[in-house]
Structure 1
Amino acid sequence: MPKPNRKDSILDAALACITEVGADATTIEMIRERSGASIGSLYHHFGNKERILASLYFEGLRRYAERLDVNLAAAAQATECISALVTSYIDWVVENPDWARFILHSRGRIEAGEMGEQLKTINREHYVRLQTRLQTYREQGCFRDLPPECFASIIIGPAHDMARNWLAGRLSKNLVEYREMLAETAWLAVRATPDQPPQ
C-alpha cells in the first residue's frame, strides 16, 4: 500500500481531530501536531482551516464518486443502475463513517465558505455525469415520468435518511443490512408503471 503523501496525512489528521472534538473546536495547531506537518507545509497545501475542511469534504466526495462511477459502469440494466446509486452510497458510508458524518454535517458550512463555488461546480458535474449515464434508460421509457429535480431525491433520499440515523446510533442493526431493501425500494419508486409502458 503506498505511503500517504503529506497532503493526505494532513487531511487524515483533520478528520481524526474533527471526529474527536468537532469541526469548530478543531484548530490548525491540533491538525499540525497530529499530522506531524510543519506550519509552513500546512499553509502551503491549504492556506487556512476552512480550506482544510473544504478539501476534506471534496476528497470525501471524490472517493465516493469514484466508487459510484465504477459500479455504474458495471451496471447493464436500468434496475442495476438504480441499485448502484443506493448500494454505492450505503457501502461508502459504512466503510467511512467518520468521513460520512463530517460530510453530512458540513455541507452548509462549505457552501457558505470561500470554496462554496467550487462545491457547486463539483455537484453540478456529478449531476451531469449521472444524468448522462441514465439518459439511455430514460429514452427507453424505463422510468416513470418524474420531475428531474425529484428523481435523485426519490432514489437516494431514504438511504440518506437511514444513514443519518445509523451514524447517530439510532438504528439497532448495521446500515448494510438495509442495503438490498433500500435499493429495491428505490427501483420500485422510479420504474415505469404498467399504465406508463416503455416508449
Structure 2
Amino acid sequence: MARSSRKQEILQAALACFTESGVDGTTIEMIRDRSGASIGSLYHHFGNRERIIAALYLEGIGEYAALLEAGLIDTLDAEACVKLFVTSYIDWVVANPDWARFVLHNRGRVEAGELGDQLREVNRSHGERIGAVLRRHREAGAFKAIPGECFVSVVIGPAQDMARNWLAGRSKRPLADHRDLLAQIAWDSVRA
C-alpha cells in the first residue's frame, strides 16, 4: 500500500492480522492493537470489521487495476496488450503475496457484503476501460472468435491458477519464473 495515512496504516495492520489469524479469527480489537488506532478511529474510517475487509479487498484490486491500466496505452499492439494482463497480475502477486492471498479468498465475502455494489461498480468501470482497448484489437481481427465473457478467463486463468498454487506453497519454483511462459500461453490461446 503506497500511501501513508491513518486509514492505510489500519488496512496494513488488518492485512497482517488476517494473514496471521485468518479473516474469521481476526477481531476488531486485534486490528486496533496492531494498528495502534483508537476504536473511534477504526469506526470513523470504516464503521465495522466487514467494511475493513471490503476496503482492503477494493484497495488490492484497485492496485492491480492501476498497474495494468498504466501499461494499457492505445499504441500497444494486441500481443503486448494480452501479455500485459498476465505480467501485471504476476508482478502484483509477487510484490504483494499476503494481499493477493487475501484477495483470492475473499471476493465472495465482499460481493455478498454491504459494499458488494461498490465492488461490482469498480469491476464494471475497470472492465469498460480495458474493454475499450481490447475492442480495437478484436475489431482488427487480432483475436480468435472467443465470447467476450470467456476472453479474460482464457487470458488470465492459467496465471491465476499458478498464482494460487504458488501462494499455497504448492509450486516449487518462484511464480516470477513462470511469468514470460504464462504470458506467451495467454497470447497463443487468443491470437487469431
TM class by shorter chain equals over 0.9
| Counterpart mapping for 1:147-158 below 5 A | 147-158=147-158
> Contact (CA 8 Å) 2:74, 2:133: kept in 1 or not?
no
Shift of 1:75: 6.1
Cα root mean square deviation, aligned: 1.2
Q: Which residue of 2 aligns with 1:197?
A: none
Which residue of structure 2 aligns with residue 164 of structure 1?
Answer: 164
Q: Which residue of 1 aligns with 2:67?
A: 67
Identity over the aligned pairs, expressed in percent?
60
The answer to whether the Cα contact below 8 Å between 2:57 and 2:103 also exists between their aligned partners in 1 is yes
Find the counterpart in structure 2 of residue 195 from structure 1.
none
For residue 152 of structure 2, what is the amino acid of its counterpart? A
- Residue 119 of structure 1 corresponds to which residue in structure 2? 119
Q: In the alignment, what sits opposite 2:55? A: 55
**Which runs of structure 1 show a deviation greater than 4 angstroms over 4 or more consecutive aligned residues?**
none
Shift of 1:41: 0.8
Deviation of 1:73 (Å): 2.3
Q: Summarize the Cα distance change of 1:10–1:152 in structure 2 as closer, same or farther, 3 Å threshold.
A: same
Which residue number corresponds to residue 175 of structure 2?
175
Q: Which amino acid aligns with 1:38?
A: S
Larger radius of gyration: 1
Secondary structure at the residue paired with 1:73? coil
Give the corresponding residue for 1:45: 45
Are the aligned partners of 1:86 and 1:156 in contact in 2 as well (CA < 8 Å)? yes
The unaligned stretches of length 5 or more in structure 1 are 193-199
Which blocks of at least 5 consecutive residues in structure 2 are unaligned?
A: none
Task: Give the 3 Å change call, closer, same or farther, for CA 13–75 of structure 1 in structure 2.
Answer: farther
TM-score using structure 2 length: 0.97
Counterparts of 1:1-199 in structure 2, within 5 Å, are 4-73=4-73, 76-192=76-192
Deviations along 1:40-82, whole A, 9 cap, x unmatched? 1110000000000000000001111111111222862100000
Quote the Cα distance in structure 2 between the aligned partners of 1:108 and 1:75. Answer: 36
Write the distance in 2 (CA, Å) between the matches of 1:110 and 1:46: 14
| Aligned mates of 1:73, 1:35 — CA distance in 2 | 38
